[in-house]
Amino acid sequence: MRRLRIPLIILGICIALAWGGARVMSRDLPQRLSAWMTQALGRPVTMTDATIRLLPLSIQVSGLRVAGPTPQETPVIAIADLRALVHLPALLSGRIVVREVLLNTPHIFVHRTAPGGSNLPPRILPNPSSALSPPVHAGALQLPDITWQVDQLAVTNGQVDLHDDAGNRTVRVQNIQLHARPIAPEAPATMDLTCSWQAGEAHGTLTIKGTVYPKPLRLAAPALTASITAAQGEISSLHGQLDVTMQPVSTSAQHPWPWLSGLHGTSTLAAETIRWENVQAPHAEAEISIAQGRIQIPRLTAALAQGAIDLEGEMDARNPNLAAQLRLQARDLDLAQLFAMLGAPGRMRGTAAGDATLKAQGATLDAIKKTLAGEISLRLTDGAALGAPLGAALRTAAPLLVPPTLPDQLDVAFTKLTAQGPMHKGVLTADISGHGPWFTVAGAGQVHLPQNRLDADLRVSATAQAGRELGPLAAVAQTTPVPLQIHGPIDAPKVRVDLQRLLLRQAPPKAIEQLLQKPEEILRGLLP
């Protein structure tokens, strides 16, 4: 014990001196740190308290706030509690090695400014090769010429708010839990991030595991999962990989988010249980790339409840209306589902397939409908128009030539129907042809998606089966095509047989002779 007495006394004196020194240094530490950080950042920095602790050796700061560009603005950064654990042996050798930085409830505010201004918070990653001096530009944090590194960064309960030019919050990312290691100027850092987000009525979750590379700033995330819920629907599970790089951009770009021009990367994603607008898909996969704000989709496949959709195209993400060019192919779709996807509840069943090359622009489905333009080819097979008012149309044209037992509404079956033509401002002008058990049809028509309206002028030739089941008027159509006009809402169009055109322009003598057996019917058809 006598041999240990002197070393213990010396150790006690050293501990006392260290404790006393830490108390003395902590006395004006908040003021000195605030002044140093204000000079480094070029913006006022305040803190409630700052202390140096010995066991373990650390600096603890509470109530840290970095002011906005003007005193009236919300602070750019507010941190409730910051603690940095310092590695003592490295400090004695002239290096700052922080074993762990703990940030509790950090709150970052990002203001979107007009073109020419910065829309990002100040850069808080220090430059180790610069001496402490007044900053070259606002937002550049500079440290003395020392070697430093952070072994681990931990963020709990973080929050980031994005604001527009008027100061309104547009996006909030909250419940941020982040673990990253190591944090060094030139070294990549592994990252594990979970958070939730909210943008208007939309909200969701995000988890990213990957590596962050500092120069240029790059995120390589082989594991990404997310969920999205909005008024339009939800994606319950989105997973895949992401590799994006942020290049420096000119802040004079004339669009709301100029940093999108510097975003480059690729992603492969898969989604489960998609319900969006009127689209329901149990599974979807996509390959996506972005360069200079333009998003390219070389492949997107969505498996619907019946059938599938293959899509490729590109869109301008810098445009708030999402201008897009798409090439779409549909296979074995349920026809009722297709009408529902278009927001037009048509009463049809069958199978649909087709191809489309379209351009569109808009932030909502209604806006997209009004700008749709391109070419469409649609093929319908083995289905029926349910509740078509064909009986009522025949009875209106010539009631005495229609069996009294024929219902006003009929299910008109078809074996094949095709429509092909251009689309302009959401209006498809198509050539129509097809056949079924009762008819062969040809003609032209328009489908007006913004107004949910159908207008068609067709020539219908009836089969022998139609003549037997629909009466003498349908029997006439076996030898002479009957003009048929369809117009009105897609889900409940009106059908009219143009008997006047049939008699005066198209009907041969034999057909007229057959109709003359009921002269009162001719008079009814000729009257306006």
Cβ pair 29, 62 in contact under 8 A: no
> Residue 274: what pLDDT?
85
Is residue 122 assigned to a domain?
no
Q: For residue range 156-192, what is the model confidence (pLDDT) as tens digits?
A: 999 888 877 666 777 889 999 999 988 777 788 999 9
Q: Which tokens hold the place of 344?
A: 């037009």
- β-pairing verdict for 95-111 and 494-497: unpaired
Please tell me whether residues 384 and 242 are part of one structural domain.
no
Better pLDDT: 129 or 233: 233
> Residue 3: what pLDDT?
57
Average pLDDT over residues 299-314: 87
Residues of the domain holding 177:
28-114+143-200
Q: In whole angstroms, give the CA distance from residue 412 to residue 156.
A: 64
Please tell me whether residues 174 and 61 are part of one structural domain.
yes
* Strand positions, DSSP E, 231-278: 233-246, 263-276
Please tell me whether residues 110 and 169 are part of one structural domain.
yes
Rounded to 10 degrees, the C-alpha dihedral 427/429/432/438 comes to 50
Is residue 500 assigned to a domain?
yes
Cβ pair 194, 187 in contact under 8 A: no
Q: How confident is the model at residue 143 (pLDDT cuts 50, 70, 90)?
A: very low
Q: Is the dihedral of CA 291, 294, 295, 297 positive or negative?
A: negative
Better pLDDT: 392 or 429: 429
Residue 23 pLDDT greater than 60, yes or no = no
- β-pairing verdict for 95-111 and 153-163: parallel
Which helix (H) or strand (E) segment holds residue 163: the answer is: strand 153-163
Is residue 9 assigned to a domain?
no
Q: How many domains does the chain have?
A: 3
Is residue 6 assigned to a domain?
no
List the single range of 47-61, 336-350, 453-467 with lowest mean pLDDT. 336-350
Q: How confident is the model at residue 304 (pLDDT cuts 50, 70, 90)?
A: confident
> Residue 140: what pLDDT?
34
Q: How confident is the model at residue 355 (pLDDT cuts 50, 70, 90)?
A: very high
> Residue 76: what pLDDT?
79
Q: Tell me which long-range contacts 365-373 makes (C-beta under 8 A, separation of at least 24).
A: 365/232, 365/277, 366/450, 367/321, 369/343, 369/426, 369/449, 369/450, 370/425, 370/426, 370/450, 371/425, 371/426, 372/423, 372/425, 372/426, 372/449, 373/422, 373/423, 373/424, 373/425
Is residue 104 assigned to a domain?
yes
> Residue 509: what pLDDT?
53
Q: Which tokens hold the place of 20?
A: 């006393």
Please tell me whether residues 451 and 516 are part of one structural domain.
yes
Please tell me whether residues 186 and 242 are part of one structural domain.
no
Highest mean pLDDT among 113-127, 161-175, 199-213: 199-213
Q: Is the dihedral of CA 44, 47, 52, 57 positive or negative?
A: negative
Please tell me whether residues 165 and 269 are part of one structural domain.
no
Average pLDDT over residues 21-47: 70
Q: In whole angstroms, give the CA distance from residue 323 to residue 360.
A: 6
Closest CA to 426 of 505, 353, 352, 359: 359
> Residue 446: what pLDDT?
93
Closest CA to 406 of 418, 391, 422, 416: 391
Counting DSSP H helices and E strands in the chain, the numbers are 11, 27
Better pLDDT: 344 or 274: 274
Is residue 396 assigned to a domain?
yes
Highest mean pLDDT among 86-95, 369-378, 482-491: 369-378
Better pLDDT: 238 or 1: 238
Better pLDDT: 222 or 100: 222
Please tell me whether residues 190 and 304 are part of one structural domain.
no
- Determine if residue 395 is left, alpha or beta; phi over 0 gives left, psi from -120 to 50 gives alpha, anything else beta: alpha
Please tell me whether residues 157 and 224 are part of one structural domain.
no
Q: How confident is the model at residue 95 (pLDDT cuts 50, 70, 90)?
A: low
Average pLDDT over residues 384-394: 82
Cβ pair 370, 426 in contact under 8 A: yes
Q: In whole angstroms, give the CA distance from residue 241 to residue 219.
A: 10
In the chain the first and final C-alpha atoms are separated, in Å, by: 125
Q: In whole angstroms, give the CA distance from residue 189 to residue 213.
A: 7
Q: In whole angstroms, give the CA distance from residue 303 to residue 352.
A: 14
Q: In whole angstroms, give the CA distance from residue 425 to residue 371.
A: 4
Residue 344 pLDDT greater than 90, yes or no = no
Q: Which amino acid type is present at position 450?
A: P
Distances in Å between the Cα of 310 and the Cα atoms of 46, 326, 333, 402 are 55, 10, 12, 46
The dihedrals phi and psi of 432, each to the nearest 5 degrees, come to -120, 135
Better pLDDT: 445 or 470: 445
Cβ pair 211, 185 in contact under 8 A: no
Closest CA to 412 of 438, 393, 433: 438
> Residue 145: what pLDDT?
43
> Residue 243: what pLDDT?
93
Residue 492 pLDDT greater than 90, yes or no = no
Please tell me whether residues 384 and 469 are part of one structural domain.
yes
The dihedrals phi and psi of 140, each to the nearest 5 degrees, come to -100, 115
Please tell me whether residues 384 and 507 are part of one structural domain.
yes
> Residue 395: what pLDDT?
78
> Which alpha helices (DSSP H) does 319-434 contain, by range?
335-341, 365-371, 390-397
> Residue 133: what pLDDT?
35
Q: Which amino acid type is present at position 53?
A: R
List the single range of 57-61, 206-210, 249-253, 325-329 with lowest mean pLDDT. 249-253
Q: What is the DSSP string of 281-317?
A: EEEEEEEEEEETTEEEEEEEEEE-SSSEEEEEEEEET
Residue 129 pLDDT greater than 80, yes or no = no
Q: In whole angstroms, give the CA distance from residue 293 to residue 261.
A: 5
Residues 6+ apart with CB under 8 A from 337: 280, 304, 305, 306, 307
- Report percent pLDDT > 70 for the chain: 72
Please tell me whether residues 188 and 217 are part of one structural domain.
no
> Which alpha helices (DSSP H) does 325-389 contain, by range?
335-341, 365-371
Q: Mean pLDDT of all residues in the chain?
A: 76
> Residue 347: what pLDDT?
74
Q: Please state the pTM of the whole predicted model.
A: 0.65
Q: For residue range 49-76, what is the model confidence (pLDDT) as tens digits?
A: 887 776 777 778 888 888 876 555 566 7
Is residue 405 assigned to a domain?
yes
Residue 118 pLDDT greater than 50, yes or no = no
Q: In whole angstroms, give the CA distance from residue 12 to residue 15.
A: 5
Residue 514 pLDDT greater than 60, yes or no = no
> Residue 13: what pLDDT?
52
Is residue 17 assigned to a domain?
no
Please tell me whether residues 88 and 223 are part of one structural domain.
no
- β-pairing verdict for 58-66 and 49-53: antiparallel
